[in-house]
Amino acid sequence: MKHQSLISIGIILPGMLFGMFDQYSLSARVAGCGDAFVAIGDAPSTLFYNPAGLSLISGTRIEANYEHLFSIVNRANFILARSVHQYTVAVGVHLLNVGDNVSLYEERIVVAGIGLPIAGDLYFGVSTSYYSLSMQRFGSSHVIGVDMGLIGYVYDRWCLGAVIHPLNNPSIGKLSRHYIPRSLTVGMSYVPFVGAVTMMELERTHVGVNRMRIGGEFQIHPNLTVRTGMETPPVVLTWGVSFKLKQLTLDCAFKYHAYLPITWTVGIRW
């Protein structure tokens, strides 16, 4: 376990030093689908993925998730979304801690967003995030980022989505500036039949890295849904399942990485 932790720290910390605040699996449901969610929405966690998806939420929705990543990373979040007239507002909190016995890195994010229709089946969303970063050897820093997205239906069964993260190009550091990774993600989802949805998305980062994510969600019983997906690069395979009890849904997901321990995520939705 110590060797695995040392390998994980060696891989994760450099990425956080130069690519901090990148998108994570902030939902057990999304994790099971290979993290392809930019053209789905309809859940509070869309606040973190594409705020335009908030427009697809009706009533009051609550979601909470916890993830244990690579044996040394713990993440948790809570999101509350509520539709008001023709628009939907949401607030969320995300907490992250890296370290085995000693905390090496901490991240706290507070997000507020809104989604609203702009024309027919086309929806717009924007969110503002307050990031607080703390590293054991480098101190702490604070910055604000803005995400903006669109989502829309085409011929009922097709949905297209796009999001820019973050739009305002914020940075941290005084002596040496490190910019929060910017990315443009575009994707689509398709409903072949009732109870099934497939999705695919492409992400382009500001440093020229391209990522592809594909996934599927299949309802095999009114109270049981299964998921699978893949993300590359690097190649990460995912599986997930949901159990529904009245208005409460329990989500579980697992990620398989070729060189790192299996990651599991759990969440609840209401």
**Each residue's pLDDT tens digit, 113-171:** 999 999 889 999 999 999 888 876 666 788 899 999 999 999 889 999 999 999 887 87
Range name among 16-20, 21-25, 145-149, 164-168 with the lowest pLDDT average:
16-20
Domains of the chain and any CATH numbers: 2-269 (2.40.160.60)
Rounded-to-5 percentages of helix, strand, coil across the chain: 10, 60, 30
3-state DSSP assignment of residue 112: strand
H or E element in which residue 15 lies: helix 2-19
What pLDDT was estimated at residue 4?
Answer: 45
Higher pLDDT, 98 or 30: 30
Higher pLDDT, 158 or 19: 158
Sort 45 into a burial class: Cβ within 10 Å, 0-12 / 13-18 / 19+. buried
What pLDDT was estimated at residue 219?
Answer: 96
How far apart CA 268 and CA 45 sit, in angstroms, is 11
How far apart CA 121 and CA 141 sit, in angstroms, is 40
Beta bridge partners, 107, equal 96, 133
| Cα-based angle 154, 215, 187 (whole degrees, multiple of 5) | 40
How far apart CA 263 and CA 85 sit, in angstroms, is 39
Higher pLDDT, 196 or 263: 196
- Nearest alpha carbon to residue 149 among 264, 21, 263, 40: 40
Percent of the chain at pLDDT exceeding 70: 86
Could you tell me the two tokens for 153? 């239906």
Higher pLDDT, 1 or 138: 138
Task: Name the phi and psi angles at 12, rounded to 5.
Answer: -80, -45
pLDDT higher than 50, residue 177: yes
How far apart CA 73 and CA 155 sit, in angstroms, is 42
Number of CB atoms found within 10 A of residue 175's CB: 4
What pLDDT was estimated at residue 260?
Answer: 76
Name the amino acid, one letter, at 19: G
Sort 80 into a burial class: Cβ within 10 Å, 0-12 / 13-18 / 19+. middle
Cβ-proximal residues to 193 (8 Å cutoff; 6+ apart), any chain? none
How far apart CA 248 and CA 250 sit, in angstroms, is 7
Average pLDDT over residues 65-84: 90
Higher pLDDT, 72 or 152: 152
What pLDDT was estimated at residue 168?
Answer: 87
pLDDT-based confidence at residue 14 (cuts at 50, 70, 90):
very low
How far apart CA 251 and CA 240 sit, in angstroms, is 7
What pLDDT was estimated at residue 175?
Answer: 63
